[in-house]
Amino acid sequence: MPRLLPSDEHWSKLREIQLHKAIYNKRNLRMTVEGMLYRMRGGCPWRDFPEAFVSLSKGYKRFNAWSASG
């Protein structure tokens, strides 16, 4: 597991919270969340968002949707 990414145990708890908040269990949800955490920790600009997580456009759209909702 890469440094500072949620473990399987942490992810199961986070997933329950997300589903409770009506964040649907979409494909690649975990990779999207891990990508957002990576970006916030490192402070990298969106143009440098690693495609290893999800595509730039998907990560950006979901980040904006989640940050606006709550």
Confidence of residue 3 (pLDDT cuts 50, 70, 90): low
Task: Give the pLDDT score at 1.
Answer: 43
d(CA 24, CA 29): 9
| Global confidence as pTM | 0.66
Where along the chain do its domains lie? 8-69
pLDDT mean over 15-33: 74
Q: Would you list the DSSP string of 10-70?
A: HHHHHHHHHHHTT----TTHHHHHHHHHHHHHHT--GGG--TTTS-HHHHHHHHHHHHHH-
Does residue 2 have a pLDDT over 60? Answer: no
pLDDT (tens digit per residue) in 29-65: 888 888 888 888 888 888 888 888 888 888 888 888 8
Amino acid at residue number 30: R
